[in-house]
Amino acid sequence: MTHEKYRGCIEACVACAQECERCGDACIGQPQMAECVRTCRDCAELCWTCSGFMSRGSTLAAEVCRACAEACDRCAAECAEHEAEHCKRCAEACRRCAEECRKVAA
Amino acid sequence: MTHEKYRGCIEACVACAQECERCGDACIGQPQMAECVRTCRDCAELCWTCSGFMSRGSTLAAEVCRACAEACDRCAAECAEHEAEHCKRCAEACRRCAEECRKVAA
Amino acid sequence: MTHEKYRGCIEACVACAQECERCGDACIGQPQMAECVRTCRDCAELCWTCSGFMSRGSTLAAEVCRACAEACDRCAAECAEHEAEHCKRCAEACRRCAEECRKVAA
Amino acid sequence: MTHEKYRGCIEACVACAQECERCGDACIGQPQMAECVRTCRDCAELCWTCSGFMSRGSTLAAEVCRACAEACDRCAAECAEHEAEHCKRCAEACRRCAEECRKVAA
């Protein structure tokens, strides 16, 4: 089953999207967190999109996962530079999601 | 915590989005399932969108949940008319999601 | 033709989405613009979503336009309080879009 | 200006998204058009997403354009096999969009 094949990656994307939405919102308005707001938004959007492509078994799922993995890498790198608890959680979720997306993209 | 307040509804939306993506894709190409493809797509898209608004604690979350609940109602009604296993699962997920979204929209 | 019926509103939504994306990004990192970042993002996302629903003639287009009009109102009100050129342009695009969305929602 | 740099591609994406939404909806329920429904939906979704990334000048715009170009190629190839007027229009819009996206992705 297509859906089954992607289960781990869908779960990682959904978890990552939620952390990114939360972290990105928390960082708004803080000058030193500007890039974090941007990477979180991009990452969240691709994670939600990616979840949809995998859920319906799209033949483009691998392609979208590739872009999503890239977004996750950038967001993880950005969040890892900050001390806030939401940044740490977000970085961790991004790393897991990047890993899962790379498996699908391979 | 905003995120916590919405947890049940986010989970229902994410589950519903996945069922709708799957059901909608399975119904493509079948003349008698045309409306099901449409309601599933609309519902999936609003469920993903809604999950994002709630995850970041948007002040518009209630508004988007209202539209999402309407999409869920229509999709549940459509899927309930069909015998396929994916339609039954989808109808059930839509009903749960509509209920959760109505709580948030209230 | 469904698509024709919505032409004016789709154009207003697409124009508004672009202004909101631009304005929201420009405001990131400025403490006094925090709410502007949020309303711009919410509005952009609903404008893109709304454009899709109308483009395919979804029976839920009116419902989504209602939520979008609300997002436009809030973003217009927020942006109208600021002096930046992108805020002024955004407020204007939001007002036009809210008006078009209300016609469809009616 | 970031936004200016992407103007041609944003316009191509928005035009393509609209054609894909319309064509994909028109093909629902026709057994021989099943793949067209799928490629149109995938392509529409990536075109809207891509428009957002470019509008806000995201550093991931090139990455998303790459996935979008791939979606456009597939949708153009699929639609080119069919005689319906909406398929011809869609194929043409997809070809133009793929070309613009490739320029940004380069």
At B72-83, the pLDDT tens digits run 999 999 999 999
Q: What's the CA gap between D103 and D106, in Å, rounded?
A: 5
| DSSP category for residue B59 | T
Question: What are the C-alpha distances in Å from A7 to residues A3, A104, B31, B42, C34?
Answer: 6, 11, 30, 22, 36
Pairwise CB contact (< 8 Å): B53 & C42:
yes
Name A58's Cβ contacts closer than 8 Å, sequence gap at least 6: A64, D38, D42
Q: Give tens-digit pLDDT for C35-57.
A: 999 999 999 999 999 999 999 99
CA dihedral for C79, C82, C85, C86, sign (positive or negative) = negative
The SS3 call for residue A59 is coil
pLDDT the model gives residue C31: 94
Q: What's the CA gap between B79 and B37, in Å, rounded?
A: 10
Asked whether the beta carbons of B42 and B35 are under 8 A apart, the reply is no
Task: Name which of D18, D49, D57 is nearest C55 (Cβ-Cβ).
Answer: D18
For D18-31, what is the HEC assignment?
HHHHHHHHHHCCCH
Segment A83-102 shows an average pLDDT of 98
Asked whether the beta carbons of D9 and D100 are under 8 A apart, the reply is yes
Q: What is the dihedral of CA B51, B55, B57, B59, to 10 degrees?
A: -20
Name B86's Cβ contacts closer than 8 Å, sequence gap at least 6: B19, B22, B23, B26, B27
Distance from CA of C29 to the nearest CA of A (A): 4
Residue A84, burial from CB neighbour count under 10 angstroms (0-12, 13-18, 19+): middle
End-to-end CA distance of chain C: 18
Name A5's Cβ contacts closer than 8 Å, sequence gap at least 6: none
Distance from CA of A106 to the nearest CA of C (A): 30
Per CB-CB distance under 8 Å, the chain D contacts of A42 are 53, 58-60
Residue C85, burial from CB neighbour count under 10 angstroms (0-12, 13-18, 19+): exposed
Identify the band that residue C2 occupies on the pLDDT scale cut at 50, 70 and 90: low
Decide if A22 touches B, using CB distance below 8 A.
yes
Asked whether the beta carbons of B27 and B40 are under 8 A apart, the reply is yes
Does residue C68 carry a pLDDT above 50? yes
* Cα A33–Cα B54–Cα D38 angle in degrees, nearest 5: 100
Neighbours of chain C (3+ CB pairs under 8 A): A, B, D
Residues with pLDDT less than 70, chain D: 1-3
Decide if D22 touches C, using CB distance below 8 A.
yes
Q: What's the CA gap between C79 and C77, in Å, rounded?
A: 6
Asked whether the beta carbons of B27 and B37 are under 8 A apart, the reply is yes
Domains in chain D, CATH or no CATH each: 2-105 (1.20.1270.360)
pLDDT the model gives residue A34: 97
Question: What are the C-alpha distances in Å from C52 to residues B13, B36, D44?
Answer: 20, 18, 8
ipTM computed for the complex: 0.95
| DSSP category for residue C84 | S
* Cα C9–Cα A37–Cα A70 angle in degrees, nearest 5: 90
pLDDT the model gives residue A4: 78
Neighbours of chain B (3+ CB pairs under 8 A): A, C, D
Nearest to B13 by CA among B64, B81, B83, B87: B64
Flag the least confident range among A4-8, A24-28, A75-79, C40-44.
A4-8
Pairwise CB contact (< 8 Å): C38 & A25:
yes
Identify the band that residue B1 occupies on the pLDDT scale cut at 50, 70 and 90: very low
pLDDT the model gives residue D4: 78
Helices A61-79, A85-105: crossing angle, 10 deg rounding: 150
Decide if D28 touches B, using CB distance below 8 A.
yes
Q: Give tens-digit pLDDT for C6-19.
A: 999 999 999 999 99
Decide if D52 touches A, using CB distance below 8 A.
yes
pLDDT the model gives residue C1: 47
Nearest to C79 by CA among C26, C28, C36: C36
Q: What is the mean pLDDT of chain B?
A: 96
